Structure formats: structure tokens, C-alpha cells
Amino acid sequence: MSVSEALLRGSLAALIGFTFVGISLVILNWFERKMGGRIQSRYGPMHVGFHGILQTFADLLKLLQKEYIIPQGANKLLFIAAPFMVMVPAIFVFLVIPFGPDLYAFRFEYSLLFILSFPALTSFGILAAGWASNSKYSLVASLRTVGQMISYEIPRLLSALSIALMAGSFAIDTIVERQAYLWFVLLQPIAFLVFFFSSLAEANRMPFDFTWAESELVSGFFTEYTGMRWALFFLGEYGALVAACLVTALIFFGGWYGPILPSPIWLIVKAALLLVFSLWIRWTWPRLRIDQWMRFSWKVLTPLSIANLLLTAFLMHWLGVGA
């Protein structure tokens, strides 16, 4: 593949990923409000469009009209760049996510490691947003968020290594092919739980959104942001959530395998069910303190994922699998 062809395919895939995340954001935002309303015995959005279906577009129009404000004493360059530093890694993950046997932009042997490591770059954007805002509250919130992402990145990677060990490859499409007859979630339920909940923590989804304080109307590390710059952080968050559900469906639930329907449809259906599950968690689980969740990561999830990885390696060696 030539350099120009690679750039063209990369740009097209990034545009498709941005469009996919944007459409998902519109649908998820409305569905999340309606689902949260039903769980809390209320209607949710009702007045803008049929059952409030146009409420997200109304919010987008409002954000586009808001004034861009840069706090006095802020680092202007980092302040402007931080939202893009959070959004871009979440979008670029879609470059290597396969939606079918031959439906992907780029394919290489270590695509799983790319998917797991590249979104971690958003921590630089979060830290930059907190520091550049010239606000001690935003800075403290950014440090808390980065600490959370680092702590949950370790068990997430270890649980994914168990799957790579069973599949004998770090390539996403190879891992999916190994599940043609049996999903890995049935063989690795512990790895699935660790991976999925760690993915929610990395995407800053409830109950892991410690940077927020809704009762105080404070938005954590992006408190000082307004308008569409504020919305870009949400785009990155939803992009990370959609990507996490797609990857979970690929490495644990057989990816695009399924009867009758086309391959991409099966993958999207499985990812959509995981998205609904993540939204259900948000509106039902209590919000705990950050020290409790950090202790849960270091003292429970990390040892559990290490033990699961060692047990997987021992069983595969004992059974002679991959020898």
C-alpha cells in the first residue's frame, strides 16, 4: 500500500468513524434520557419532536450559539487543543475496528494492542484541559480522572491478554474467527466482567465519573469550557464508550458471526445491547467515593485479572493448546 493510498484510506475511515460516533451520540443521548426517565418513573424529553426525539438537535443548536470563553490567565493554546486531544484518539480507534471479515480500513497483527493503548492518550488531553484552565478545581479533577484511567487500564489490558492467549493472536479478526463456534465470554466470564467494567471506567461513565459533581453544577476538568468545545469532551466520551462496546462484542461475543443477517448488522446489534447494559448500570448503580473505586481496581480487579491470566496460561499448557 502506497503512502497516498494509506492517507486516503485513513482519512476516509476517520471521517466514517466521526460520522458513526456523531450519529451514535445523537441516538444514545436521546435514548439515555428516555431510559433514565423510565427507570426514575418519569417521561424524559417529550416536547421537542415526537417523544422528544429532536431534543438532542435542539441542544446542539444551543451549544453552537453559545459564546466561546477562555478564562483569564489560561494557557490559550492548550485550552483550545485539549478537547481535540480527548476526541481524536477515541475516533481514530475506528481505523482498525473490523465490521466484517473484510470490512476494515487497516488490518495488522497487533490491532488489539492499538485499540487498548491508543485511547489512553486521552489522559494527556484531560490533564491539559485541567491545567490550562487556570483553575485549581479543574486541575484536581483532571488528576483524579487520569489516576482512575491509569488504574483501570491495567486490569483491562490483563483481561484482554487472556483472550489473546486463547486466540494465539493480537489481531482482532483472528480473535473473532476463533469464536466461530464458541464465544470467548463462555470460556472467560471473569475476563469479560473485568474488561467491560474497566472500559466503563476508562470512558468516565457512571458510576466511575468522579470528576463530576452534579449537585454542585461542576463539570470536573472541563468546568471552564463552553459551547461546542464543552461538547467535544462528550463526543470523546461517547466515542470511547461506543468503541469499548464494539471491541467487547468482537473479542467476547463472536463479533460479526450470526445467522441470516449481514455481518456488520450482527456486530452492531451486539454492541447496542452492551450499550444498553452500560446505560442501565448508570441509572441503577450508586455513586461511590473515588477511594472506594480505586481500592476496588488495585485490590480486586488487578489481582483477579492476574490470577485469571495465569490460570488461562496453565490450562492451555496443560491441555497442550497452541503447542
Q: Examine the pLDDT at 323 and tell me if it is beyond 50.
A: no
The average pLDDT across 153-179 equals 87
Q: What pTM value is reported for the model?
A: 0.84
- 90-107 pLDDT, tens digit per residue, is 777 877 888 877 777 677
Q: Tell me what percent of the residues of the chain surpass a pLDDT of 90.
A: 2
Quick one: three-class SS letters along the chain? Answer: CCHHHHHHHHHHHHHHHHHHHHHHHHHHHHHHHHHHHHHCCCCCCCCCCHHHCCHHHHHHHHHHHCCCCCCCCCCHHHHHHHHHHHHHHHHHHHHCCCCECCECCCCCCCHHHHHHHHHHHHHHHHHHHHHHCCCHHHHHHHHHHHHHHHHHHHHHHHHHHHHHHHHCCCCHHHHHHCCCCCCHHHHCHHHHHHHHHHHHHHCCCCCCCCCCEHHHCECHHHCCCCHHHHHHHHHHHHHHHHHHHHHHHHHHCCCCCCCCCCHHHHHHHHHHHHHHHHHHHHHHCCCCCHHHHHHHHHHHHHHHHHHHHHHHHHHHHHHCCCC
Query: Quick one: which of 303, 139, 152 has its CA closest to 240?
Result: 152
CA distances from 46 to 35, 42, 43, 162, 316 (A): 13, 10, 7, 45, 54
- 223-255 pLDDT, tens digit per residue, is 778 888 887 887 777 878 888 888 899 999 888
More confident residue, 18 or 223: 223
pLDDT of amino acid 198: 85
The average pLDDT across 316-320 equals 76
Q: Examine the pLDDT at 293 and tell me if it is beyond 70.
A: yes
pLDDT of amino acid 210: 62
Cell numbers given for 248:
467487547
